[in-house]
Amino acid sequence: MRMYDIIVKKRDGGELTKQEIDYFIDGYTKGDIPDYQAAAFTMAIYFQGMTQAETATLTQAMVNSGETIDLSAIKGHKVDKHSTGGVGDKVTFIVGPLVASVGVPVAKMSGRGLGHTGGTLDKLEAIKDLKIEMEKEQFIKNVNEHKLAVAGQTGNLAPADKKLYALRDVIGTVDSLPLIAGSIMSKKLASGADSIVLDVKTGSGAFMKTLEDSESLAREMVNIGNSLGRNTVAVISDMNQPLGFEVGNANEIREAAEILQGKKVEDLRNLSLELASHMTVLAEIFASYEEAYETLEQNLENGKAFEAFRSFIEAQNGDLSMVDDLTNLPTSSHHIEVTADQDGYIAEIDAESIGVAAMYLGAGRSTKDDLINHGVGITLKKKIGDAIKAGETLVVLHSDDENPDSSIEKVKQAYIISNEKVEAPRLIHKVIK
């Protein structure tokens, strides 16, 4: 077999065989196939696409290129959740305990953040002494005992994807649906859960800006999961503005803990209940979505979900005094209000700009080696559809710099105020099974 022939076959719109796809992934991972041939091949895929069968085969080959995590020592049906990424997305800290509160084990491997969206591990580390590195045995023990553990990704998961994604990033082939879907799903499948719920974001702050593209990506990923033996559901949710009111590490932990204590922040709470309901139905704890939703909602009110959160934090050595009294979480030295210049209604809040403004404050990294400041962040005081008067506060910047001018400018750019009344965007656009 020659890589040249495989490239030409795809370039001309042919359907590749399993042997051809395996030959590429195996050869590229080992370094036998050079970057220039892999570049030409991904460009051919970019233009010609892949069939569902080809995409599933490519994904399985990327899973097989490295280690897979064996979660069989964890009792029960393991369900994972994955978000395609958004600003203010602290849903993992709500959904994890919520699902754990009805006995479904969640063994979550997470990463750090780069750019305008924060990483789950960075946010968790806002809680003093919380350990996210642990031996596999400890991780499994924690999930068995507390139904939830969150750890840094260990092992060499889907190395073919790592190499290919880095190549695609510099040659303009990231935006290919089968390649994105295969890339995300290869890492999820290698992480070992029995079922997967995907939160596919759509809108200005999302990777996929239109509902049509988000739906295509969601369908592609659901097909991959289902055809490779994992029940997969995708929820397409709105990312035309940040989720909830808080952005930043300690800020997001605080807001998540408040939801777990029954606070009603509508979008964040509803999305968390939606995702958790699908997860618990897939785990066969509930017969129907409605039954799941009702019980999970009760667990936000009766303290069970918050208790599951406390128990997981304690098991990972986190300082519980920060959870029991949220004012003990890290904070900043300055709290600067950014106000509106005109009366009207909030028409747009560009989530990406809010994320970048938070990153400038120190809540995120612009390069891999930047240090995170857990106490800084942004509190939104107005969301899309809200009425506003000139001089009223749009956001509060929590900053250690007295004059965070670049963040102020970015936040002002993010908010568009209209004279006409504006409807709040719909939160859940579609569920794909």
The set of catalytic residues is: 82, 161, 168, 183, 187
* Helix or strand holding residue 22 (H, E): helix 18-30
Q: Which residues of this chain interact with ligand URA, rule CB under 6 A?
A: 165, 174, 179-180, 183-184
Give the three-state DSSP class for 266: helix
Whether the CB-CB separation of 348 and 416 falls below 8 Å is answered with yes
- Give the residues across from 398 on adjacent strands: 335, 377
Whether the CB-CB separation of 348 and 415 falls below 8 Å is answered with yes
CB of 28 to ligand URA, least distance (A): 15
Q: Is the dihedral of CA 314, 107, 138, 253 positive or negative?
A: negative
CB of 166 to ligand URA, least distance (A): 10
Whether the CB-CB separation of 388 and 340 falls below 8 Å is answered with yes
Give the three-state DSSP class for 428: strand
CB of 218 to ligand URA, least distance (A): 13
Beta carbon nearer to ligand URA, 105 or 192: 192
Beta carbon nearer to ligand URA, 159 or 377: 159
CB of 58 to ligand URA, least distance (A): 12
CA distances for 347 relative to 6, 9, 339, 386, 423, angstroms: 49, 48, 15, 8, 8
CA distance 169 to 364: 21
Nearest residue to ligand URA by CB is 183
Beta carbon nearer to ligand URA, 46 or 165: 165
Beta carbon nearer to ligand URA, 76 or 115: 115
Whether the CB-CB separation of 227 and 267 falls below 8 Å is answered with no
CB of 84 to ligand URA, least distance (A): 7
Beta carbon nearer to ligand URA, 161 or 255: 161
CA distance 398 to 377: 5
CB of 151 to ligand URA, least distance (A): 19
Beta carbon nearer to ligand URA, 179 or 396: 179
* Dihedral angle computed from the Cα positions of residues 164, 165, 169 and 175, in that order, rounded to the nearest 10 degrees: 110
CA distance 301 to 204: 33
Beta carbon nearer to ligand URA, 171 or 174: 174
CA distances for 234 relative to 159, 224, 303, 357, angstroms: 25, 12, 28, 30
DSSP character string of 338-389: EE-SS-EEEEEE-HHHHHHHHHHHTSS-SSTTPPP-TT-EEEES--TT-EE-
Beta carbon nearer to ligand URA, 165 or 306: 165
Beta strands 148-152 and 106-110 are parallel
SS (H, E, C) 40-95: HHHHHHHHHCCCHHHHHHHHHHHHHCCECCCCCCCCCCCEEEEECCCCCCCCHHHH
Tell me the longest C-alpha to C-alpha distance in the chain. 69
CB of 62 to ligand URA, least distance (A): 11
CB of 284 to ligand URA, least distance (A): 29
